[in-house]
């Protein structure tokens, strides 16, 4: 009787596989059940090996309990993308496999991988005859349709230039060939409107996949797409490795968006994984944005990606004017200058809608004692607490802990406690007092948490005439507000003077995205940027509304400073109960890297938040000239970690290509 040996990945935080034996042959990527200690666990077959390694004597190798499934869980290209991701992000292989497996399959279950037999056929609803593409859309589409193999394309389209129509036509082209297509968006909130556009164009089931769906629903979409029963799937980053049958192309909408990066656990970029997958499957990938990432623009410059410009709006109208408003000597109410207030009043009088953008939710970001300077901070993580008037609570925005309001100062007993700074709630209150008869609609994390609330809000905006929308970056993404003729940006200065790397890239993307929400129906739309730095050189570029100028400038500066995308960064994070633990560990890591040529190390630095659940957090920033070199250095470092006593006192992780430096 033949005995086969397999390396199996198990969902454990270890960087290795475990060897098991079996008398039957099992395909790579199959789901199996194996004994592990006293338990039995689900595992994934990673490779067949000719014989177990010498330290692992054949006698003690356990047998795979069950490998009965007919279909593999991960087909070749997805399987290979996962192997790549585990190496690139230096993340435990089992955890990477499991994060792309439907929840239902992660445990031992009676559900199996098989067709659902609910097949959807697509019928194209051709838009009516009067519907014509613009010359620009038409010319680009013809070229885009001809792309056959892996050949990443950036669709650089200013807001209102009709990118979605291009996506629909590309999908049509793929479906006609009998293949399937995956469309990624950065946030769940953006799915409904895109899904509606696709449903209108294609009669048939459009698959939707994201983390707020029930495990059963997700499993069904996963099965239907795996067996080709649906051919169009729209989803967030968690759907990047959906097993679509005969995948013909991937579209990544708003490719610059930071939400593609997972911020905890397996910290991958959905966009980058999509690109890797397209490369391994040798299929076209289309990256769309009005404000592309520097990484993508650099690759365009290096002729590795092709760029397709959509610079004109479909309606033929001009983009809104961006007007910096000097507020240095202006009286302010709740973050709004008096001049701004009267401009808002004028728009309201004309029956128009106004969008107020402030990048902070809650009422006020500081709750402070005037007598002694005490500031309310979170007992769990030490971040400053934000006062939420609507809930009458102090809330930590880092860890979401909520606390009762202090009537008097816990340090000195004074009752002289005040709030400072502005958030969406205060702006909403100020506007309600100023415009008593106008609907003031707040759109932020707090007002959209309940299911269906975002839909209700958009409904209200659509059906109102004059109205004022107050919101965070949520308002800046994707959605169109045709009745908005005036945008006001309250606190752009925070971004303009931020010392953080790529702050300019972020703030300009945000400002241009916000301004794109305005004036879809109106030539006279304008965007007011309140600022105390009207002469700021960056603001002057942002004012042009031409993202190409700003991104050119950002690329130039980052090249001079060798910052990403002209270098690669990894943050090593360490968490320990006592601060000494993580500092000793990170200091040793820093020392170990000190003789590596080309590598620069900054830190250890305290992370924000500094404390989570009683543990302290510190980090180290490692910068390397290239991705390949960084990968080699991290491999070396990981092996070092395994030998150090310091490692036992910490929980550590890597964050490759971090978006946020904390
Ligand atoms: Zn006090
Ligand atoms: Zn906290």
CA of 245 to the centre of ligand 1 (A): 64
410 alpha carbon, closest ligand: 1
Domain limits of the chain?
4-106, 123-310, 321-364+421-557, 568-656
d(CA 256, CA 258): 6
Q: What is the pLDDT of residue 439?
A: 93
Question: pLDDT tens for residues 480-509?
Answer: 788 888 899 998 887 777 666 677 888 888
356 and 403 Cβ atoms separated by less than 8 Å: no
CA of 352 to the centre of ligand 1 (A): 46
380 alpha carbon, closest ligand: 2
Tokens of 171: 């999908």
403 alpha carbon, closest ligand: 2
CA of 472 to the centre of ligand 2 (A): 20
CA of 272 to the centre of ligand 2 (A): 31
534 and 578 Cβ atoms separated by less than 8 Å: no
488 and 334 Cβ atoms separated by less than 8 Å: no
Regarding pTM above 0.85, the answer is yes
CA of 417 to the centre of ligand 1 (A): 8
Of the candidates 511, 509, 504, the residue with the CA atom closest to the CA atom of residue 490: 511
CA of 476 to the centre of ligand 2 (A): 26
368 alpha carbon, closest ligand: 1
How many Cα atoms occupy the beta-carbon half-sphere of 68 within 13 Å? 8
CB-CB neighbours of 444 under 10 Å = 22
Q: What is the pLDDT of residue 338?
A: 92
CA of 462 to the centre of ligand 2 (A): 37
CA of 128 to the centre of ligand 2 (A): 54
CA of 612 to the centre of ligand 2 (A): 7
CA of 378 to the centre of ligand 1 (A): 17
- Crossing angle for the helix pair 547-560 and 503-515, to the nearest 10 degrees: 170
Q: What is the pLDDT of residue 130?
A: 64
CA of 420 to the centre of ligand 1 (A): 15
414 alpha carbon, closest ligand: 1
408 alpha carbon, closest ligand: 1
394 alpha carbon, closest ligand: 2
378 alpha carbon, closest ligand: 2
417 alpha carbon, closest ligand: 1
d(CA 411, CA 408): 9
Kind of pairing between the strands at 153-157 and 285-289? parallel
Tokens of 140: 């680009």
Q: What is the pLDDT of residue 275?
A: 98
CA of 373 to the centre of ligand 1 (A): 6
CA of 405 to the centre of ligand 1 (A): 14
3-state secondary structure of 319: coil
371 alpha carbon, closest ligand: 1
Q: What is the pLDDT of residue 126?
A: 65
CA of 608 to the centre of ligand 2 (A): 10
CA of 371 to the centre of ligand 1 (A): 5
Q: What is the pLDDT of residue 662?
A: 66
CA of 395 to the centre of ligand 2 (A): 8
Kind of pairing between the strands at 651-656 and 568-576? antiparallel
CA of 423 to the centre of ligand 1 (A): 23
The residue ranges of the chain whose pLDDT is under 50 are 58
CA of 504 to the centre of ligand 2 (A): 28
402 alpha carbon, closest ligand: 2
CA of 591 to the centre of ligand 2 (A): 32
d(CA 265, CA 311): 39
367 alpha carbon, closest ligand: 1
CA of 75 to the centre of ligand 1 (A): 62
Tokens of 408: 């008097």
372 alpha carbon, closest ligand: 1
**Which CATH superfamily, name and number, covers 4-106?**
PriA, 3(prime) DNA-binding domain (3.40.1440.60)
d(CA 620, CA 654): 10
Q: What is the pLDDT of residue 177?
A: 92
CA of 615 to the centre of ligand 2 (A): 12
d(CA 275, CA 355): 35
Q: What is the pLDDT of residue 519?
A: 62
CA of 448 to the centre of ligand 2 (A): 21
406 alpha carbon, closest ligand: 1
Question: pLDDT tens for residues 506-563?
Answer: 888 888 888 777 765 555 678 899 998 888 888 888 888 888 888 998 899 889 988 8
SS (H, E, C) 615-627: EEEEEEEEEECCH
CA of 418 to the centre of ligand 1 (A): 11
369 alpha carbon, closest ligand: 1
CATH 3.40.50.300 for domain 321-364+421-557 = yes
418 alpha carbon, closest ligand: 1
321-364+421-557 shares the fold of 123-310: yes
3-state secondary structure of 182: strand
Domain 123-310, CATH? 3.40.50.300
Of the candidates 475, 544, 486, 476, the residue with the CA atom closest to the CA atom of residue 506: 476
Q: What is the pLDDT of residue 204?
A: 85
CA of 578 to the centre of ligand 1 (A): 29
Fold of 568-656: Alpha-Beta Plaits (3.30.70)
CA of 100 to the centre of ligand 2 (A): 30
CA of 264 to the centre of ligand 1 (A): 36
Which strands sit side by side in the sheet containing 440-443, from one edge to the other?
321-326, 526-531, 484-489, 353-357, 467-471, 440-443
CA of 396 to the centre of ligand 2 (A): 5
398 alpha carbon, closest ligand: 2
Residue 64: phi, psi to the nearest 5? -65, 130
CA of 390 to the centre of ligand 2 (A): 19
């Amino acid at each position: 009787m033949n005995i086969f040996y397999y390396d199996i990945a198990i969902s454990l935080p270890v960087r290795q596989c475990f060897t098991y034996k079996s008398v039957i042959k099992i395909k790579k990527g199959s789901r199996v059940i194996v004994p592990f200690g006293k338990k039995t666990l689900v595992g994934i077959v990673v490779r067949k090996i000719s014989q177990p390694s010498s330290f692992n004597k054949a006698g003690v190798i356990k047998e795979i309990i069950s490998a009965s499934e007919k279909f593999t869980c991960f087909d070749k290209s997805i399987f290979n993308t996962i192997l790549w991701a585990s190496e690139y992000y230096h993340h435990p292989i089992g955890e990477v496999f499991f994060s792309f497996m439907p929840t239902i399959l992660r445990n031992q279950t009676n559900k199996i991988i098989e067709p659902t037999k609910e097949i959807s056929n697509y019928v194209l609803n051709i838009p009516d005859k009067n519907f014509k593409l613009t010359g620009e859309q038409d010319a680009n589409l013809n070229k885009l349709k001809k792309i056959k193999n892996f050949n990443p394309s950036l669709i650089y389209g200013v807001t209102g230039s009709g990118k979605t129509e291009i996506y629909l036509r590309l999908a049509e082209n793929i479906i006609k060939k009998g293949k399937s297509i995956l469309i990624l968006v950065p946030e769940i909130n953006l799915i409904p409107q895109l899904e509606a556009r696709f449903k209108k164009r294609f009669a048939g089931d459009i698959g939707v996949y994201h983390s707020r769906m029930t495990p059963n629903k997700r499993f069904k979409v996963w099965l239907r797409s795996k067996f080709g029963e649906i051919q169009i799937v729209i989803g967030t980053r968690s759907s990047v490795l959906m097993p679509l049958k005969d995948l013909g192309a991937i579209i990544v909408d708003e490719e610059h968006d930071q939400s593609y990066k997972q911020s905890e656990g397996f910290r991958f970029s959905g966009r980058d994984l999509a690109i890797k997958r397209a490369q391994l499957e040798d299929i076209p990938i289309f990256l769309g944005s009005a404000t592309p990432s520097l990484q993508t623009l650099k690759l365009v410059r290096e002729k590795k990606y092709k760029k397709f410009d959509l610079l004109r709006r479909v309606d033929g109208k001009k983009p809104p004017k961006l007007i910096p408003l000097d507020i240095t000597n202006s009286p302010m109410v709740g973050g709004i200058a008096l001049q701004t207030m009267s401009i808002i009043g004028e728009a309201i009088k004309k029956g128009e809608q106004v969008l107020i953008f402030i990048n902070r939710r809650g009422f006020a970001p500081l709750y402070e004692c005037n007598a002694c300077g005490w500031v309310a901070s979170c007992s769990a993580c030490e971040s400053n607490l934000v006062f939420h008037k609507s809930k009458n609570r102090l809330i930590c925005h880092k860890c979401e802990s909520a606390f009762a309001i202090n009537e008097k100062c816990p340090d000195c007993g004074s009752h002289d406690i005040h709030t400072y700074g502005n958030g969406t709630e205060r702006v909403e209150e100020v506007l309600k007092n100023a415009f008593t008869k106008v609907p003031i609609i707040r759109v932020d994390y707090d007002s959209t948490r309940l299911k269906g609330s975002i839909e209700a809000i958009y409904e209200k905006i659509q059906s109102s005439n004059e109205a004022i929308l107050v919101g965070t970056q949520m308002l800046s993404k994707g959605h169109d507000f045709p009745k908005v003729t005036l945008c006001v940006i309250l606190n752009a200065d925070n971004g303009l003077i931020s010392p953080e790397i790529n702050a300019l890239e972020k703030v300009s993307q945000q400002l241009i995205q916000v301004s794109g929400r305005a004036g879809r129906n109106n030539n006279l739309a304008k965007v007011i940027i309140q600022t105390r730095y009207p002469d700021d050189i960056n603001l002057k570029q942002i004012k042009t509304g031409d993202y190409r100028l700003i991104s050119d400038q950002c690329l130039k500066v980052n090249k001079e400073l060798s910052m990403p995308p002209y270098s690669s960064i990894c943050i090593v994070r360490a968490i320990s109960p006592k601060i000494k633990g993580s500092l000793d560990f990170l200091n040793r890591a820093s020392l170990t890297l000190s003789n590596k040529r080309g590598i620069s190390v900054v830190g250890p630095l305290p992370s924000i938040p500094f404390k989570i659940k009683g543990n302290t957090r510190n980090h180290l920033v490692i910068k390397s000239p290239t991705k390949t070199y960084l990968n080699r250095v991290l491999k070396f470092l990981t092996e070092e970690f395994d030998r150090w006593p310091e490692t036992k006192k910490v929980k550590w992780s890597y964050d490759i290509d971090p978006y946020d430096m904390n």
